[in-house]
Amino acid sequence: MTKKTLAMVILDVLKTRTEPMTANDVYQQIACRRLFEFQSRDPVGIVRNALSRHCLENQHSCASQDKYFRQIATGYVALNEK
């Protein structure tokens, strides 16, 4: 069985919600449902980083080519419905 990446887990969480979410909201859902095991003292920061890397608005060279999310308002993201 292949483990899901954090971006894939976040994608699953956002698919179950109709409203935009913050990194903290996403983390709370992941932790509550035990969808991913974090090896960090700052799991919300890890979620925030994953959201940023896969966000449509992030065009930096270190950003992922896979744009799953889009920024709705400061701190809020939603699915990037292509």
pLDDT in tens, 29-81: 999 999 999 999 999 999 999 999 999 888 888 888 899 999 998 889 999 98
Burial 9-37 (b: 16+ CB within 10 A, else e): bbbebbeeeeebbbbebbbebbeeeeebe
pLDDT at 1: 55
Q: How confident is the model at residue 3 (pLDDT cuts 50, 70, 90)?
A: confident
Q: How confident is the model at residue 21 (pLDDT cuts 50, 70, 90)?
A: very high
Q: Which residues contact 5 (CB under 8 A, 6 or more apart)?
A: none
